[in-house]
Amino acid sequence: MNKKKSAPSHNPFAEEGFKLSSYTHKCCCVAVRIRGNMVDIRDTKNPNGPTISYNKKEWSAFLKGVKNNEFDV
């Protein structure tokens, strides 16, 4: 029995250097790109929407807060 692997789905963010979590299934998450001293974030549900940018110090503070459960979601 031969099983064919499905072709990977198109990732519109990859062309612009954005990375997605392997858990996203290309939607319902954020795409992140490091660009020099900046970190850019986009909503995967809206690939043509705006990009929010943070400097690396701001991004590091955000990640630290996530790891320390500082956000009530």
The answer as to whether 4 is a domain residue is no
Q: Is the dihedral of CA 9, 12, 18, 24 positive or negative?
A: negative
Q: Do residues 29 and 23 make contact, with C-beta atoms less than 8 angstroms apart?
A: yes
The answer as to whether 41 is a domain residue is yes
Which pLDDT value is given to residue 17? 87
Cα-to-chain-centroid distance, residue 53: 12
The first and second tokens of residue 42, run together, are 């986009």
Q: Which range of residues forms the domain containing residue 18?
A: 14-67
Counted domains in the chain: 1
The answer as to whether 9 is a domain residue is no
Residue type, 57: K
Q: Which pTM does this prediction carry?
A: 0.69
Express each pLDDT in 1-59 by its tens digit: 555 444 445 566 666 888 888 777 667 788 899 999 999 999 888 878 899 999 999 99
